[in-house]
Amino acid sequence: MRIALMVISLVLLGCGHALARAATVAAAVPAVPQRGTLYRATQQDHTVWLFGTVHVGQASFYPLEPIVMRALAAADQLVLELDPTDQPALQAAFARHALLVPPQTIAQAISADTQRQLQQVLDRLGVMPSAVTGMKPWAIANLLLALTLERSGYAREQGIENYLREQVPGKPVVALESADYQLGLFDVLDASEQEHYLRECLASLLDGKTVQQAAVMMAAWGSADSAALERLVEEELTESTITANFTRRVLLDQRNPLLAASIAQMGQHGTTQFVAIGLLHLTGPGSVPALLAQRGYQVKKIY
């Protein structure tokens, strides 16, 4: 699964916008199954609903089930990883972290073999090389993945965050992180690691595994199949790849304690938060629910 699982469930709200296009919203289906995963954490007069999201979507995902919508409606705040509507911040972060320092180009940053693989994916997607020539390898990987997922029917514009905001117009929205922080996490990758990261992504795109495994993950998320989701996450994070190591070490182990601390701090005023974050943050012994439990919260998994 490699990069597909990471980007779908974790990040990044900014990388896909350079090539992504809006998708048509179809009529909602009448059946309302459980989706993702849902927790309730309470401590004294502080209640936190934790809903595991994927950052891309399609019309068939909606509406969400009644218990989720009731919790959202009753909450004082909607809490997201970052605000997907703040395009200036997203664009500024992309310019700061995702671009090579001129006059360097991607052709100078990666080997000839990686260039050949990259050109194959660009040709398959109908993307001109000039669109990515000034981008860092990791940014190209994330962007091509986002575009591939959109071509497969999973659009950023139909992601859970946008849907939740639309359901509660006027409700305060709090961002746990900034786009600058999220994209800056990739700066820990050195030149060699970035090329390996890109090569892993290109290989998965070329052999079709990205789309196949994304469909498996979406099916598990769409039916709230916790066992399948946990199995997928375990398989992803135990792979001997740059992507798996980076996801585990930086995107989860580094961020989860900070996310849990920020969520707990919101409870100082006795409010109720509906927190929608990537589902990987809600899975495993170092997950946000587990870390809130360590802080004295009573945590219950609803499904």
| pLDDT tens digits, one per residue of 8-48 | 655 554 444 434 333 333 333 445 889 999 999 999 999 99
**Cβ neighbour number for residue 123 with a 10 Å cutoff:** 10
The Cα 64–Cα 56 span in angstroms is: 15
Tell me which residues of the chain have a pLDDT lower than 50: 1-2, 13-30
Those residues with Cβ within 8 angstroms of residue 293's Cβ, 6 or more apart along the chain or in another chain = 41, 299
Which strands make up the sheet holding 298-301, listed edge to edge? 173-175, 77-80, 272-278, 46-53, 38-43, 298-301
The pLDDT, as a whole number, for residue 238 is 85
The pLDDT, as a whole number, for residue 4 is 56
The pLDDT, as a whole number, for residue 29 is 40
Closest CA to 140 of 153, 129, 151, 152: 129
Contacts 24+ apart (CB under 8 A), 86-90: 86/175, 86/179, 87/17, 89/178, 89/179, 89/180, 90/13, 90/14, 90/17, 90/179
The Cα 145–Cα 148 span in angstroms is: 5
Which residue intervals of 152-271 are DSSP H helices? Answer: 160-167, 179-184, 191-206, 209-222, 226-237, 242-246, 255-265
The Cα 14–Cα 179 span in angstroms is: 7
| Residue 167 three-state SS | helix
The pLDDT, as a whole number, for residue 231 is 87
Q: Is 301:230 a contact under the CB 8 Å cutoff?
A: no
Length of the chain: 303
The pLDDT, as a whole number, for residue 217 is 87
The pLDDT, as a whole number, for residue 24 is 32
Q: Is 58:158 a contact under the CB 8 Å cutoff?
A: yes
